Amino acid sequence: MKTIVTFGTFDVFHIGHLNILERARSLGDRLVVGLSSDEFSWRKKGRYPVFSEGERIRLLEALRCVDVVFLEHSLEEKRRYLLEQEADVLVMGDDWQGKFDEFQDICDVVYLPRTPSISTTAVIEKIRL
Ligand code: CTP
């Protein structure tokens, strides 16, 4: 059983999110998503997500490619999360290229190319205009 772990806010769910989750899942047998809590997202991005953590959890859990969702409360706890989930592979989008190489001692670290021309921020801006 090969466990893939990935992290993110996944707010205003879009095709870039689905692409990375499906690609991550295809690398193993089980996909675990560490979902940024509302507070953690605020600290990271300087705004609260449009959809609450409870809503974002339900949306991710409803996807065929996602097996388990847990809340990520801080960057500092990433090593503990990976160990607890028994991660074989950590998958991140290549906007994080190199940033998680420190975990190569406990799992493989893979950066997948982002889907071009879409992000939560871009969707919010488009709706606003
Ligand atoms: N992601 C992706 N392709 C995109 C957008 C996001 O592969 N076009 C990936 C990110 O690299 C990350 C995951 O999806 O691994 C969750 O990203 P998140 O930060 O929640 O989404 P963004 O759309 O990047 O949000 P924001 O605009 O708020 O930064």
Residue 34: CATH number of its domain:
3.40.50.620
- How large is the average pLDDT for residues 29-33? 98
In whole angstroms, give the CA distance from residue 63 to residue 22: 9
Count of domains for the chain: 1
Nearest residue by C-alpha to atom 13 in ligand 1: 8
Q: How many other CB atoms sit within 10 Å of the CB of residue 8?
A: 20
Which residue range(s) make up the domain with 19? 3-128
In ligand 1, the atom with minimum distance to the C-alpha of 6 is 15
Give residues (CB < 6 A) around ligand 1: 8-10, 16-17, 20, 45, 92-93, 95, 114-115, 118-121
Best mutation site among 89, 120, 125 for ligand 1 pocket (most ligand atoms within 8 Å of CB): 120
CA 67 from centre of chain:
13
pTM here is 0.96
pLDDT of residue 111: 98
pLDDT of residue 129: 84
Contact 112, 94 (CB under 8 A): yes
